[in-house]
Amino acid sequence: MYLEKVNGPEDIKKINKQDLQILADETREALIHKISNAGGHSGPNLGMVEMSVAMHYVFDSPKDKFVFDVSHQSYPHKILTGRKEAFLDAAHFGDVTGYTNPNESEHDFFTIGHTSTSISLALGLAKGRDLNKNDENIIAIIGDGSLSGGEALEALDYAGEYNKNLIIIVNDNDQSIAENHGGIYKTLKALRESGGKCANNLFESFGLEYKYLEDGHDIEKLVSLFESVKGIDHPIVLHIHTIKGKGLAYAEANRESWHAGGPFNVEDGSPKFGDWTPDTTVFDSLVELIDNNEKAVVLNAGTPMGLGFVEANRAEYVKRGQFIDVGIAEENAVAMSSGIAKNGGTAVFGTFAPFFQRTYDQMSHDLCLNDNPATMLVLQPGVYGMNSNTHIGMCDIQMFAHIPNLIYLAPTTKEEYQQMFKFATTQKDHPVGIRVPGSFVSSGEKDTTDYTIYNKNKVEVKGSKAAIIAVGVMMQMALETAKKVKEDTGVEITVINPRFLTGLDEALLNQLKEDHQVVLTLEDGELMGGYGQTIASFYGDSDMKVKNYGISKAFHTDYDADKLLAENGMSVEQLVAYIKQYI
């Protein structure tokens, strides 16, 4: 038993090299203990066990600095750097996050969750080292999937002219979340199959020195490789072949479904809490589109499951050329969508709200300046989206609502989404974005709204004195608040569903002045720069009072959504109390 004595890298260095595999086995066991009980990124971490042991055996963390791309493969590193209790003891599972975190350990340098960031951040650490005339090793660890992102390729290029120590470990398990997409993966395959010796070496063509290791689970070879480059005076790429899911046969065999997931029974990989049944509203809308319009295509950027296209169902659409995965390359996906729409195709691109952050310039310059009618599905934005600060998507309205030509829509029900999607994918006038919540409320009634009448809001409840304008998922709270106000006071207040976030229904807003004293706005994203403030501005020098509710400005993390809303004044009780002042 070595792991119990390992409280940091210094303890690993005391172990005989030939016994390091025992430590690796114990590390994998700790890892499996946690992921099988608490869920997490299974595949990426199982593949990094031996490498993490070898890294800490050879390098001197934290003086030498590891930067993990996405950092969803950093669990073994955490186990080996004083955080093993968070894997061994269920009572401590919550002590660490699923990503590197400088607040947890001096061995972590960045809070990171987006792909393709590690080489660039490592270059920064390296340059900081040089400016301080220090000599530590800087090591980026990047998966093959992350290499398709623009930020990684930009950094790889700059690394090719950088002239000091930088070690780039390409952890190649021949898999992104789903299969890889892009021409560079043909080259990675050729490199693997030729033992690193094929004709065109991607990394050398970026100006970088290169070494290949076929067995990324052979600790002695890993140690030798790392020892051979420790203290190197220029950048080098170590291309290391690993097996995603290593050590669990079912995970090795089903790499996509074992990328990440919930608790499972170790014997056979069966889920502990039954299969999760996803909402298929978005998937159904996409399939209906491409089944009925041969000129339509759905694009995704390395997260096909976000749109409901999983291994079992997407092959047919891929074959038809109507489902495209461009790799983790959101910029290319948005710009391509613009081009497709320009040349007579119907393009829909969808990804999670935090990853849309990578496309601001393409949304503005490539798509909206050119006013091409592509559809953008912004998945799971706001407070009910992913609740880790590494994957927060609270600012989609800030990013997109002000971009000229874009029509940005917020459905409050499943039926509204369906009609908005139909509008977006049949009109030819403008780019359209839709904020897609993680789950839908159903109104039970087909929405037949004509969304070509831009900025037309829907009055859900017509009343007086106070009006609530509620964006998207906040509609339920608005309706409950109105109901409670009526119960308590007998007064019916107005509830408005703006639907359009890129412009105001000025006629309606002016009409409210006649018999309303206050307008409340509710939104599930950040308050500052959001939708509500455009309403406050509209009424700025009128007699209408406006109260904006939204989320405070912070990188919120690991929060309870309803609690965070309440902390920002958004609960039925608080809203009712506020409104009563005006009744």
Tell me whether residue 79 or residue 289 sits nearer to a copy of itself (CB atom): 289
Pairing between strand 323-325 and 296-300? Answer: parallel
Q: How many residues bind a copy of itself (CB under 8 A)?
A: 120
Q: CA–CA separation, 480 vs 277, rounded Å?
A: 28
Closest CA to 37 of 94, 77, 105, 82: 94
Per the listing, tokens 């975190």 go with 101
Q: Residue 339 Cβ, how far from a copy of itself at the closest point, in Å?
A: 2
- The three-point CA angle 399-402-404 to 5° equals 120
* In the complex, minimum distance from the CB of residue 296 to a copy of itself, in angstroms, rounded to a whole number: 7
- List the interface residues with a copy of itself, window 92-111 (CB under 8 A): 102, 109-111
| Minimum distance, C-beta of residue 147 to a copy of itself, in the bound complex (Å) | 8
130 binds a copy of itself (CB under 8 A): yes
Please say which residue, 323 or 421, places its beta carbon nearer to a copy of itself: 323
Closest contact distance (angstroms) between CB of 480 and a copy of itself is 22
- Tell the smallest beta-carbon distance from residue 150 to a copy of itself (Å): 2
Q: Which is nearer to a copy of itself, 68 or 440 (CB)?
A: 68
For the sheet with 516-526, list strands across it: 458-461, 494-497, 465-470, 516-526, 545-551
Q: Which is nearer to a copy of itself, 18 or 163 (CB)?
A: 163
The single-letter code of the amino acid at 542 is S
Interacting residues with a copy of itself between 7 and 66 (CB under 8 A) = 65
- Using the minimum distance from each CB to a copy of itself, give the nearer residue, 93 or 582: 582
The DSSP code for 121 is H
Region 325-344 residues binding a copy of itself, contact defined as CB under 8 A: 326-327, 329, 331-332, 335-344
Angle 369-373-378 from CA coordinates, rounded to 5°: 90
Is residue 485 at the binding interface for a copy of itself, with CB under 8 A as the rule?
no
Q: How far apart are CA 25 and CA 342, in angstroms?
A: 55
The DSSP-derived string for 41-71 is: -HHHHHTTHHHHHHHHHHS-TTTSEEEESTT
Segment contacting a copy of itself by CB under 8 A, of 42-50, 354-362, 425-433, 467-475: 354-362
Residue 356 carries which side chain, given as an amino acid letter? Answer: F
87 sits near a copy of itself (criterion: CB under 8 A) = no
Pairing between β-strand 209-213 and β-strand 138-143 as defined by DSSP bridges: unpaired
Considering only 527, 565, 570, 576, the residue that binds a copy of itself (CB under 8 A) is: 527
Contact code string over 551-570 relative to a copy of itself, x by CB under 8 A: --xxx---------------
Q: Is 288 in the site for a copy of itself (CB under 8 A)?
A: no
In sequence order, what are the residues at sequence separation of 6 or more whose Cβ sits closer than 8 angstroms to the Cβ of residue 216?
A: 47, 50, 51, 171, 172, 222, 240, 241, 242, 243
Q: Which two tokens stand for residue 371?
A: 């006013």
Residues in region 392-451 near a copy of itself by CB under 8 A: 395, 398-399, 401-405
Distance CA(439)–CA(420), nearest Å, equals 16
With respect to a copy of itself, which residue has the nearer C-beta, 208 or 576? Answer: 208
Given the complex with a copy of itself, which of 93 and 539 has the nearer CB atom?
539
CB of 420 to a copy of itself, least distance (A): 21
| Complex with a copy of itself: residue 364 or 418, whichever CB lies closer | 364
Q: Single out the residue of 425, 433, 381, 435 nearest to residue 405, CA to CA.
A: 433
Binding to a copy of itself (CB under 8 A): which residues in 154-213?
A: 154-161, 181-187, 199-202, 204-208
Residue 306 binds a copy of itself (CB under 8 A): no
**Residues whose CB is less than 8 angstroms from the CB of residue 393 and which lie 6 or more positions away in sequence, other chains included:** 352, 353, 354, 356, 357, 378, 380, 381, 382, 385, 386, 525
349 touches a copy of itself (CB under 8 A): no
Residue linked to tokens 């849309």: 356
CA distances from 373 to 134, 296, 297, 367, 422 (A): 53, 12, 13, 8, 13
461 sits near a copy of itself (criterion: CB under 8 A): no
Closer by beta carbon to a copy of itself, 242 or else 332:
332
Interface with a copy of itself includes 321 (CB under 8 A)? yes
Q: Please identify, among the stretches 15-23, 362-370, 436-444, 505-513, the one whose residues bind a copy of itself according to the rule CB under 8 A.
A: 362-370
Pairing between strand 296-300 and 235-241? unpaired
